[in-house]
A and B are shown apart, each in its own frame.
Chain A
Amino acid sequence: MRCIFVVLNFIFIFSGCASKPTAVEAPPTITVWHWMTDREPAFQKLAKDYQAQSGIKVNFELYAPSDAYSQKIRVAAQGENLPDVFGILGETRDFAAFIKAGHILDLTPYMDAHSGAWRNSLFNKALAVNEFREANSYGVSAGVYGVPLDVTTIQMLYNKDLFIELGLDPEKPPLTFKEFLEIGKKIEQADMQGLVSGWGETWMIDCLVTNYAFNVMGEDKFLATIRGEVLYTDPDWVRVFTIFKEMQESGVLAGGIVTMINKVAEQLFANNKAVFAFNGSWCVNVYKGMNPNLNYAAMLPPKVADEYPIAIWGGAGSSFMVNARSKNKEQAVEFLKWLTAEKQQAYLAEATMNLPANKESLEKIPGILLQFGDDMDLVTHPNTWGVSEFPLVIEAIDRGIQSIIIGEKTPEELAREVQEIKERELAKKR
């Protein structure tokens, strides 16, 4: 009996080692982790379409809010459990760290295949956000590491109805900073709310600082400051910080803007309670949901100086990356090619009111969204600069601008303080 048991055991053990009977391999399932709550229904629909066409199942998994998503991605990266496709919500240095840790596939060969057909179908500025150039300061090998899903630009908006109430021409938004400040006085006299934005979340302050830094000193000097070649105490930087003081003094900023979260800002603007807003192109969808009758238009931030053009933050709104360690990476790349093709992009733009990353789909989007798309030439983004500022310096600028607005610091004091932090960080790096 004992003998039979031992023999049976052997049979069971070695049957496990035997080669499996040949069977048709099931198509893989591509797993995508995303954070875009508003796009979830559209993604699910596209996943079904893709399965019907290719036989490959795409599993979109939503993890929101974005903070939680970000954290999940980091933890998954540490445990090497990233899905086939994912996004990175962070700054360029985070993106670079993921690439250097071997988590992200270099998509350059796929982009350049067939005479660069995939690359050429996408907006250059959107692609640039996912691209690292030769000799970048992050030490990342040159290449394209992400696929833009849509395009975002952050601009100013004005309420046409409130413009009429203020006795202004609704078709003539202010072009110069002087005109903008003049409107501020009218807003204050009419006891209205001026510019609303999520400046409590600080990163939007950073956007506007960059816009005006480009306008006042030009891109080269701006980047030289980041490299540590120009001081923040330079008169041009003091001028940039002074812009916020002037805005506050003119009455063009809404009360409480320094602690305002963007959702509140969006509610105020959508409900005709603020004349101006500083917001991203995603707002078209948000405002539509809050007040479909809102009568508004997009405008560039009014220029302070004429020598250099104003820049606006933008580029890829959301991007997807392919896990370099995934066994389904080829299928994942194919799926992303399909997702960014003209038809799917047009559907996404229509369903989610976001600017498509595919150039050919732009013709099919609604008018107000097109106003955001018109200024793609002026777009800049930290990912495209090749250098990045120390986070502590950025925080000091953003919080310092809040201090200027509440009258706690002067632009000169802020400039000195930021430069001190910059020097401390540079010393640490050395």
Chain B
Amino acid sequence: MKIKPTLENYMFVLPAVLIFAVFYIIPFIWVFQLGLFQWDGISPTRVFVGLGNFKEILFQDKIWWQSMRQAGYITFIALTFQNALAFLLAWACAREIRLKNFYRLIFFIPPVLSEVVVGLVWQWILDGHYGLLNNWLAQLGFANLARNWLSNPETALTTVAIAHSWKGFGWGFLIFLAGLQTIPREYYEAARVDGANAWHCFKSITVPLMIPIAVLVGILTILGTMQAFVLIIAMTEGGPAYHTQVPVLRILASMRGSSRFGYACAQGITFGMILVIISFIQYRFSRQYRRI
């Protein structure tokens, strides 16, 4: 008698499970399986190398780990600079200011632009000889600061990170804005009656209530930024040398540049697992924070 309702329940989730299996689980298993082979992506035969590809990634491929560190740095800039900017702008737009709808539109333009176009525009702005930035610096009397921003190893990664933050802050802005609008006005009115000023309201009402939103934006920022590559290709092609290489570029280099499909699959799995671990840690951390 109990079997029927249980079966019925399973039937309801079956379509979702099937879709998830077909589009996520089976490809994941397949990619993992390909990661165990040496294969050029064309030949009908593959050479089984066991965990050799994974071993090479973990213990020999210095460039892979350099690219991971660099992606981590870009993510750090995105988590701090990009999200702080997004939050501040959202906070400003959530208040009763003139032209706030216009600003909302403007701030959401960068995320909808093509990454290639954004990359090329930034490259043009940052060009060492004819770029706008160096031109402005010279006009403002800071000509000594002018440089080839993208081909200088000291500035290339930070420059790319800033361009990425500019491109991506609109998403955070939108989510923060939606979060800010859900805070009941009554809280602020009650606080003001009790004598709180704007800073007290911000510190004691806005910030605590926005923490879950900030966690969500943080997770999305980490996942999005760690996987960034189109903007980087358009701006630096991963150079100079390996200074702006990120993991997805390394996967592409293995797949297209070196025809090492098996190795690229192993890199993809390794990278995916690293992202899962980071997300899991962040999730645990946010749960603890919410309890506090």
Are A400 and B241 in contact, with the CB atoms below 8 A? Answer: yes
CB atoms of A402 and B123 under 8 A apart? no
Bound-state CA distance A180–B56 (Å) is 43
Q: Number of contacting residues on B, CB 8 A?
A: 30
Residue count of chain A within 8 Å CB distance of chain B: 40
Q: How far is the CB of B190 from chain A (nearest CB, A)?
A: 55
**A91 CB contact (under 8 Å) in B60, B127, B128, B259:** B259
Do B44 and A255 have beta carbons less than 8 Å apart? no
List CB contacts (< 8 Å) of A374-430 with chain B: 391-392, 395, 399-400, 402-403, 405-406, 408, 424
| B236 pairs with A259, CB closer than 8 A | yes
B151 contacts A258, C-beta separation under 8 Å: yes
Question: Which of chain A's residues has its CB closest to B119's CB?
Answer: A261
Give the secondary structure class of B's interface. loop
Q: Which of B78-86, B97-105, B106-114, B250-258 contacts A (4 or more CB under 8 A)?
A: B250-258
- When each residue 242-263 of chain B gets 1 if its CB lies under 8 Å from chain A and 0 otherwise, what string results? 1000000000010011111000
Given contacts A93-B40, A395-B253, contact A259 B151 (CB under 8 A): yes
Task: Name the A residues within 8 Å of B236 (CB-CB).
Answer: 200, 259
Q: Are A391 and B128 in contact (CB under 8 A)?
A: no
Q: Are A408 and B153 in contact (CB under 8 A)?
A: yes
Known interface pairs A97-B42, A261-B237, A395-B253. Does A256 touch B258 (Cβ–Cβ under 8 Å)? no
Contact in complex: A395, B153 (CB < 8 Å)? no
Contact between B237 and A200 (Cβ–Cβ < 8 Å)?
Answer: yes
Q: Does any Cβ of B come within 8 Å of A193's Cβ?
A: yes
Q: Which residues of A contact B127 (CB under 8 A)?
A: 256
Per-position contact with A for B12-33: 1 when CB-CB < 8 Å, else 0? 0000000000000000000000
Chain B, residues 42-62, CB within 8 Å of chain A (1/0): the string is: 111000000000000000100
B199 beta carbon closer than 8 Å to chain A: no
A67 to B230, CA, bound (A): 13
If A399-B241, A402-B239, A406-B151 touch, does A70 touch B258 (CB 8 Å cutoff)? no
Q: Which residues of chain B have C-beta atoms less than 8 A from A258's C-beta?
A: 151, 239-241
B224 at the interface (CB under 8 A from A): no
CB distance from A270 to the nearest CB of B (A): 14
Contact A406 B40 (CB under 8 A): no
Given contacts A255-B151, A259-B156, contact A399 B239 (CB under 8 A): yes
Q: Is residue B148 contacting chain A, with contact meaning CB distance below 8 A?
A: yes
Cβ-defined contact, A259 with B150, below 8 A: yes
A249 near B: Cβ within 8 Å?
Answer: no
Chain A's nearest CB lies how many Å from the CB of B162? 16
CA distance A31 to B150 in the complex (A): 43
Query: Are A74 and B241 CB-contacts (below 8 A) given A255-B148, A258-B151, A395-B258?
Result: no
Question: In the bound complex, how far is the Cα of B64 from the Cα of A392, in angstroms?
Answer: 13
For residue A202, CB closer than 8 A to chain B, the reply is yes
In contact, B241 and A256 (Cβ under 8 angstroms): no
Q: Does A18 contact B (CB under 8 A)?
A: no
**Contact status A93-B259, CB under 8 Å:** yes
B41 adjacent to chain A (CB < 8 Å) = yes
In chain A, positions 285-305 with a C-beta closer than 8 Å to chain B are none
Min distance, Cβ A94 to any Cβ of chain B, angstroms: 6
Instruction: Pick the contact of B240: A70, A406, A424 (CB < 8 A).
Output: A406
CB distance from A47 to the nearest CB of B (A): 28
Q: A258-B240, A259-B239, A261-B237 are in contact. Are A94 and B151 (CB under 8 A)?
A: no
**Counting CB contacts under 8 A, is B197 at the interface?**
no
- With A90-B259, A94-B259, A406-B151 as known contacts, state yes or no: A74 contacts B239, CB within 8 Å: no
Q: Is the CB of A70 within 8 A of B241?
A: no
Q: Which B residue's beta carbon lies closest to that of A70?
A: B256
Q: Is B204 an interface residue (CB 8 A)?
A: no
Report yes or no: A97 in contact with B128, Cβ–Cβ below 8 A: no
B181 interface hit (Cβ, 8 Å): no
CA distance A202 to B241 in the complex (A): 9
A391 to chain B: closest CB distance in Å? 4
Within 8 A of B (CB), among A248-262: 254-261
Given contacts A90-B259, A200-B239, contact A256 B43 (CB under 8 A): no
Additional A-B contacts beyond A90-B259, A258-B240, A402-B241 (18; CB < 8 A): A70-B256, A97-B41, A97-B42, A97-B259, A101-B42, A200-B236, A255-B128, A256-B129, A257-B151, A259-B151, A259-B236, A273-B130, A391-B258, A391-B259, A392-B258, A395-B253, A402-B240, A406-B241
- Subset of 26 A-B contacts with CB under 8 Å: A77-B42, A90-B259, A91-B259, A93-B40, A94-B40, A101-B44, A200-B236, A201-B237, A202-B239, A255-B148, A256-B128, A256-B148, A257-B151, A258-B241, A259-B237, A273-B129, A273-B130, A391-B257, A395-B253, A395-B257, A399-B241, A400-B241, A402-B239, A405-B240, A406-B153, A406-B241
Binding site for A on B (CB under 8 A): 40-44, 60, 123, 127-130, 148, 150-153, 156, 235-237, 239-242, 253, 256-260
Q: Which 6 A-B pairs have the closest CB atoms?
A: A391-B258, A97-B42, A258-B240, A403-B241, A200-B237, A255-B128
